[in-house]
Amino acid sequence: MKNKKTILVTGAAGFIGASLINRLLDDGNYVIGVDNINDYYDIKLKNARLSFILEKNPNSESNWKFYKESIDDYESMISIFKDHKPEIVVNLAAQAGVRYSIDNPFEYVKSNLIGFCNILECCRKLEVSNFIYASSSSVYGSNKKLPFQEKDVVDHQVSFYGATKKSNEVLAHSYSSLYKIPSTGLRFFTVYGPYGRPDMAPMIFAKSILNEEPINLFNKGDMVRDFTFIDDITEGIFRCCFKKAYSSQDFNLFDNNLSDSSAPHRIFNIGNNNPIKLNYFVSLLEKYFDKKANINLKPMQLGDVKNTCADSSLLNEWIGFKPSITIEEGTNKFVNWYLKFYGK
């Protein structure tokens, strides 16, 4: 077995965080998890993810340590960093959700800005050798050119959530430039699958179908999303953990390629590059649940974007991986998990 790495993952009880931790433990690494387990959504689901980590890795006592702490608490974070001296840090902790950010912007400032800065400072002081962080397709804002590419201008945000994620990219780049911290930002595209977030469409739609409640499809159903299965997202992050960003010798500021930099900093899309209409996704849920949905067509919501589509070719070149799980396969796996987990 290759040398075991000490890896700190924030957002450990989150959808993506818990999945990544399972992958890292399976690979034999020592993992420190941090999560404040807030009540933005069902705490039972977050605890279930943590329980599943132990269930999937029954011999992980010596390889896995969890802290219930908030990344916006600098003293707690620096103490954890000093105690464990992680070689690799993956920051997935964030206040998520486009619509929630409209009414609760200060929650995003606290976690996505102050908390993110705390993690950067801890990485600097402990001289972390590789930093991976979560960005989002939301940074593309009002961009209408498809597919979305890393070289696209992302200065026209339409949600406060997207603005905080763009800020993360700028802040991380500055630390990479100033302190030579190898950093990789990953722009996630509509992640779905088992243990998914209850505030996202797959979980909302599944619950509504089984409870015979109406499903609201915004923009009168004419919405397109680049759904990416959780296992594909996890594998992409995992591989980035073991490949450090480095300065591009060919960087040219006027080429406008934001994935490259004179600093050891990279940005990549991670998505299926196979966008589908929400109507089709609902039809797959109907098929696998064997139950019809009651659909309400609604106007466009504030902060939403009509289409998302990822060009993930740069990530493929970087780590030799691209998402491959089809929407049909992924939805079937999600439905099977949902029925087992919720017992319906």
Active site residues: 161
Quote the distance between the C-alpha of residue 199 and its chain's center: 14
Copy the structure tokens of residue 296: 């309400």
**CA gap 257, 253 in Å, rounded:** 8
Backbone φ and ψ of 192, nearest 5°: -145, 165
**CA gap 268, 115 in Å, rounded:** 22
Residues 257 and 151 sit within 8 Å (Cβ to Cβ): yes
Q: Residue 19: CA atoms inside 13 Å, Cβ hemisphere, count?
A: 21
CA angle 139, 332, 275 (to 5 degrees): 30
CA angle 31, 171, 230 (to 5 degrees): 45
Residues 157 and 147 sit within 8 Å (Cβ to Cβ): no
Helix, strand, coil percentages for the chain (3-state, nearest 5): 45, 15, 40
Instruction: Provide the 10 A C-beta neighbour count for residue 39.
Output: 8
Residue carrying the six token digits 């993956």:
90
**CA gap 35, 12 in Å, rounded:** 5
Residue carrying the six token digits 């190898």:
182
